[in-house]
Homo-oligomer: A and B are copies of this chain.
Amino acid sequence: MSKLKGSKVRVPIVLVNFKTYAEGTGKNALDLAKFCEKVSLETDTCVAVAPQFVDIVPIAEAVSIPVFSQHIDPVMYGSFTGCVLPEAVKAAGAVGTLINHSERRLKLAGIDAAIKRAREANLASLVCSNNAAVSAAVAALKPDMIAIEPPELIGTGIPVSKAKPEVVSGTVEWVKRVNSDVTVLCGAGISQGEDVAAALRLGTRGVLVASGIVKSKDPYRVLLEFTGALSEFRS
């Protein structure tokens, strides 16, 4: 596994977005994070978690795997009541952050500013995009990672790597052309180990997953499948 700019975020990676699922809130979120850590340690792969804001502190205190925020606002220390300050997220124990998730889209200038603020706060930035052209656009803004997630597939169980492989490979190609330093992940509809393998074969360095793990009846088995696929593509 290679490390991302010296942080404890390594690729290939499985990043689990807890959303606002009941199974990913409060006490459940803590249990789920501990479980992800267990699989990560057992399989020697990188499994990271993105819990809700309020759950970052207790989770970051309890586990050694990377913790991401689900969002940051491009704000500074000051008068921004109700906003998510990058420095506060960092102080809470997060090492990275999602930006522009399809459920929390930002304006273009805001994405640019959020990536810069993440860098200043020493947070790895993972920007979500909805197609290959938008991914290329994001790449020009120099985030650490991009996750390609066609919104129409999110939560469907239909993996983009199967339903629209050309969107994934197109993203990998376009992003490389614009900025080859950017790591591409694959999201939307990932629910089986073979979906992860397909995503990696298409040139991505991991997956962003939510319901596939968080709402699974047997998350242990599914996460083992996922990390098993990672192991084959270790670099």
Contact = CB atoms under 8 A, between A and B. Distances in A.
Interface string A181-204: 000000000000000000000000
A132 to B, nearest CB: 9
- Give how many copies assemble into the complex: 4
A130 B109 contact: yes
Contact of A25 (B87, B101, B141): B87
A41 interface: no
A135 to B, nearest CB: 8
B20 A75 contact: yes
B91 A103 contact: no
A100 interface: yes
A21 B100 CA distance: 24
Contacts of A80: 19-20, 103
A76 B83 CA distance: 19
